[in-house]
Structure 1
Amino acid sequence: MTAQLDEAAFERAQAGDPRSLDALYRAFAPAVVQYLRVRGIDDPEGGCHDVFLGVIPRIGTVKGGVEGFRALLFTVAHARMVDYFRRRSTVPATTEYLPEADTRTAPSAEEAAVATLAASRVETLLQELGTDQREVILLRVVAGLSIEETAKVMGRSSGAVKQLQRRGLQALRLLLAPVEGE
């Protein structure tokens, strides 16, 4: 196209002529796509469409003819490119999860939830025991104390601790029996 045809097409595009708008798009889109591609945008064609969608509604206010339109077009393209890289810098990179490559030692959320529920269930069951039975079970099982150490902490004999432990574990088995049969 000659400069005269460019200006005439631009004036018709400013007046809303669809063919002239299409001609402007066909004339400038390849350069906008190339600009965005060279600048490293992942989807330069989509970026070009965004640029034109931002510029076309303002075409009636453009001063300077075709050159003014070109300047506005590349100003918006540059702004879209800057926005793209700003957005990209705030979004964390994603990669495919490979279970065999997962070296984390912390429990998963599922494991933590199950442990929390189990601990809650254990606490509820322990509340069903008598005070002395609960204390023996906690000292023996949770704290890992020996029978002698537990007896010393509680001020009881070793035989009494053994008996409280046996009765406490038997009571827990009875409390768990309906759960196991479900």
Structure 2
Amino acid sequence: MGDGGRHGRIRADDAELGAAVARAQEGDERAFAVVYRLVHPGLLAQMRALVAAEAEDVASDAWLEIARDLARFRGDGAGFRGWAATIARHRALDHLRRQKRRPRTVGLDQEALELPGGQDTAEAALEFLSTRWALQLIATLPREQAEAVLLRVVAGLDGVAAGRVLGKRPGSVRTSAHRGLRRLAQGLGPETDRP
């Protein structure tokens, strides 16, 4: 299913992810928790950009499918990220088709009050707001550029894996990501309001 990171950059935690996936395929629940911890933040960011307020629900649907089909996955950590992103994107597009609406920007909601414990609250709040702010900026891009930026930068997929997720050639995805990032950089000046 996934041939992994043969063609692109390697993330620092890809080896840990690959090992955890292999153990999870053997039924190790703790290993699945590691897989979830390493993949979910990027996957959730991708969902927030595509389906906004329904991101958690759509991500949950994607994780159900990922867990159900985990035994069929073949590949390494980078390949698993791409495979999971593809499943999540399909769930998001299915959701949008059912709702017959376009993605909208993300607004602050109850999550701002549900910051995780065990860390500096002020630091966590700034990180949360910065993430929201970045996702709101990405959501202003044309859809093709936004998805490319999310997959390449937020989810950390290489051009080949992102191309598989989007059904496009790797060069096309890299170009869309570059154009999106350039457009974002042009919009960010010293006067830009951000958290």
Structure ranking higher in helix proportion = 1
Alignment TM class, shorter chain as reference? 0.3 to 0.5
Which structure has the higher relative contact order (CA within 8 Å, separation 6+)?
2
Q: Bigger radius of gyration, 1 or 2?
A: 1
TM-score by length of 2: 0.43
TM-score by length of 1: 0.46
